[in-house]
Amino acid sequence: MIDRFGRVATDLRVSLTDRCNLRCTYCMPADGLEWMPRADMLTDDEVGRLVRIAVERLGVTNIRFTGGEPTLRKGFTEIIARAAALAPRPRLSMTTNAIGLESRADGLAAAGLDRINVSLDTLRPDRFAALTRRDRLPDVLAGLAAAQAAGLTPVKVNSVLVRGQNDDEAVPLLRFCLDRGYRLRFIEQMPLDAQHGWNRAEMITAAEILAALRAEFDLTPSPSPRGAAPAERWLVDGGPGEVGVIASVTRPFCGDCDRTRLTADGQVRNCLFSQTETDLRGLLRAGADDDEIAERWRVAMWGKLAGHAINEAGFAQPLRPMSAIGG
């Protein structure tokens, strides 16, 4: 799936639900959102078919399941198992808040999940409760440990720093991850919250994060190639420990993007920030064959724009929030 700028999409993000058991302030309002009607959501079989088409016909080699909270999807383990049975076997990962993972990590690994990214923004229970509006930090820590024990490695941790809330935790979060062998990546806050409350001046930038880390650690650029990975990586105190920063806003990496996205209601998005979507659910339910679906998906990717334009005048936030796109 090539686009007109020569980028080839091999990395598929599949959102399995827009629902979530947390309410992170930078993602969702306290009352949640109006969830997608069940009838609009792809069934497990429909997800399985689209994933198969992506792998067998469109050259997708990596699949990440996300949401909302992907572990809330009932058929999740079976969806993983089906994807793992495809040839060529795609690499399978998921992004999760890790709630409930403690009891499920072994089963997911057995089904074929290879790796995991866990979102964790603070190590302080009171702040966790304020940032996510749920008092669940112990569940997340237990989920992380279970993922490591189950071999869902390397376990990566994603952290968003929010000014005045957890922006003094860059160093403690890195120490926590280094001690346990987790790979930490900080993510700049993006204008993708459902409340449209993002404010550039409030965002903690990559430069600020690096300055805070450099006060405590010696950071040198990682020698391993970045490729299409969104994170810029640094060796910490000479390695082998590393830290990454995903500077989507201040250092965009759109020129190397290899992503294609499928929402839980069967829409292809060629970018997180896209203003348009391509409906595969309607095509699928109208009886289209695999060739037709693959062709529609290819056309959707061909139309991908050069970049997200967050830093340009006239930028408009997409209608869907991150939780309904699949972060």
The binding site for ligand SF4 (CB under 6 A) comprises 20, 22-24, 27-28, 67-69, 97, 119, 323
Taking CB under 6 A as the binding criterion, the range among 62-70, 108-116, 138-146, 177-185 that sits at the site for ligand SAM is: 62-70
Verify binding: residue 69, ligand SAM, rule CB under 6 A.
yes
CB of 131 to ligand SF4, least distance (A): 9
Nearer to ligand SF4, 53 or 187 (CB): 187
| Of residues 284-323, those binding ligand SAM (CB under 6 A) | 322-323
Binding partner selected for residue 28 from ligand SF4, ligand SAM, none, CB under the kind-specific 5 to 8 Å limit: ligand SF4
Question: Running DSSP on this structure, what letter comes out for residue 267?
Answer: E
Contact 264, 257 (CB under 8 A): no
Question: Could you check whether the bond before residue 240 is cis, i.e. omega within 30 degrees of 0?
Answer: yes
CB of 217 to ligand SAM, least distance (A): 22
Nearer to ligand SAM, 66 or 278 (CB): 66
Verify binding: residue 278, ligand SAM, rule CB under 6 A.
no
Return the amino acid letter for 195: Q
Token representation of residue 76: 């999740």
Of 26, 76, 186, 217, the one binding ligand SAM (CB under 6 A) is: 26
Token representation of residue 299: 């056309």
Q: What gap in Å lies between CA 29 and CA 85, rounded to an integer?
A: 38
Nearest to 50 by CA among 91, 15, 100, 101: 15
Taking CB under 6 A as the binding criterion, the range among 48-56, 61-69, 105-113, 135-143 that sits at the site for ligand SAM is: 61-69
> Residue 58, Cα to own-chain centre: how many angstroms?
21
Q: What is the dihedral of CA 311, 315, 321, 322, to 10 degrees?
A: -30
Token representation of residue 270: 């060629």
Verify binding: residue 100, ligand SAM, rule CB under 6 A.
no
Token representation of residue 142: 């237990």
Reading across the β-sheet that carries 259-262, which strands appear in turn?
Answer: 219-221, 232-236, 242-246, 183-187, 155-159, 115-119, 91-96, 62-66, 11-15, 259-262, 267-269, 278-279
CB of 119 to ligand SF4, least distance (A): 6
Nearer to ligand SAM, 16 or 294 (CB): 16
Nearer to ligand SF4, 67 or 112 (CB): 67
Nearer to ligand SAM, 152 or 192 (CB): 192
Question: Running DSSP on this structure, what letter comes out for residue 43?
Answer: P
Give the interface with ligand SAM as residue ranges (CB under 6 A).
20, 26-27, 66-67, 69, 95-97, 119, 158, 160, 187, 189-190, 192-193, 322-323, 327
